[in-house]
């Protein structure tokens, strides 16, 4: 395929659609390699170090070991998540960049209360303070022009339409695993002897903050396990 230049891609949605059709025929590793080679500016990936995060961390750092890995530490992660971060950082030699909210979790709760208990609007406010603002600050401080993330279409209704390559707020957003299903994830982890998050084995299929994450139970969808089913997205990715 004759790939349009970055300016054309940014200005022409039809050109992006054609490119996404071409990218859909590549493997996840090939998509990542293409983006690393062809999309200009500083590159970084984000990770929540959630249930299946080892896949993209491994896939990306095999191609660029020094790729910055952005982690937003909300101050409310599970103890198992912090240990999982330590494990993967040591094993994969990650170039980890940790960003935190401007207020500590205790100070924020003293000022705003337990926002996650105050319905949809409270959850949105919590996410803005503890997740969105730190991520936007991270992207700005590192001048990230191409952002890799592990979103997959099967994860929720709100992610069903994601493309391998999107233009978001003036930067490229790349989803190498966009079309992967859970079996693809399992096969990759098994092939490379990579771990699931420790809480996966206790029924947690989507893992965020302690106060807003539940294990999957009969009759629930994956998206129901976060924010008491009121919201699936925290605002970071969608």
Residues marked active site are found at 234
Extract the tokens encoding 79: 């103890």
Mean model confidence pLDDT for the chain: 90
Q: What is the mean pLDDT of residues 130-155?
A: 95
Q: What is the mean pLDDT of residues 96-123?
A: 91
Domain locations along the chain: 6-229
The residue that leads in pLDDT, 6 or 32, is 32
CA angle at 47 for the pair 44 and 52, rounded to the nearest 5°: 135
Q: What is the mean pLDDT of residues 9-22?
A: 86
Query: Please, which pLDDT band fits residue 90 given cuts at 50, 70 and 90?
Result: very high
3-state secondary structure of 119: helix
Residue 70 has pLDDT above 90, yes or no: yes
- Residues 88 and 80: their CA atoms lie apart, in Å, by 12
Name which CATH class applies to 6-229: alpha beta
Strand segments (E) across the chain: 42-46, 68-72, 95-99, 144-148, 165-168, 171-174
Extract the tokens encoding 191: 């092939």
Which DSSP symbol is given to 43?
E
- Residues 117 and 78: their CA atoms lie apart, in Å, by 18
Residue 52 has pLDDT above 70, yes or no: yes
Q: What is the mean pLDDT of residues 155-168?
A: 87
Q: What is the mean pLDDT of residues 167-183?
A: 94
Helices and strands in the chain, H and E counts: 9, 6
Query: Please, which pLDDT band fits residue 2 given cuts at 50, 70 and 90?
Result: low
């Amino acid at each position: 395929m004759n790939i349009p230049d970055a300016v054309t891609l940014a200005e022409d949605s039809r050109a992006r659609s054609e490119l996404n059709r071409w990218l859909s025929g590549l493997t996840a590793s090939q998509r990542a390699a293409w983006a690393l080679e062809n999309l200009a500016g500083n590159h970084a990936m984000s990770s929540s170090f959630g249930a299946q995060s080892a896949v993209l961390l491994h896939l990306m750092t095999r191609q660029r070991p020094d790729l910055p890995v952005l982690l937003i530490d909300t101050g409310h992660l599970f103890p198992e998540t912090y240990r999982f971060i330590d494990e993967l950082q040591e094993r994969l030699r990650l170039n980890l960049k940790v960003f935190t909210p401007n207020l500590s979790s205790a100070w924020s709760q003293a000022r705003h209360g337990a926002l996650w208990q105050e319905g949809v609007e409270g959850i949105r406010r919590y996410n803005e303070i503890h997740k969105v603002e730190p991520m936007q600050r991270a992207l700005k401080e590192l001048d990230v022009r191409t952002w890799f993330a592990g979103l997959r279409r099967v994860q929720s209704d709100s992610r069903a339409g994601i493309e391998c390559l999107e233009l978001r707020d003036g930067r490229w957003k790349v989803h190498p695993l966009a079309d992967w299903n859970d079996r693809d994830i399992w096969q990759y982890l098994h092939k490379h002897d990579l771990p699931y998050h420790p809480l996966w084995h206790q029924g947690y299929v989507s893992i965020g903050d302690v106060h807003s994450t539940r294990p999957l139970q009969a009759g629930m969808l994956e998206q129901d396990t976060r924010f008491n089913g009121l919201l699936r997205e925290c605002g970071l990715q969608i």
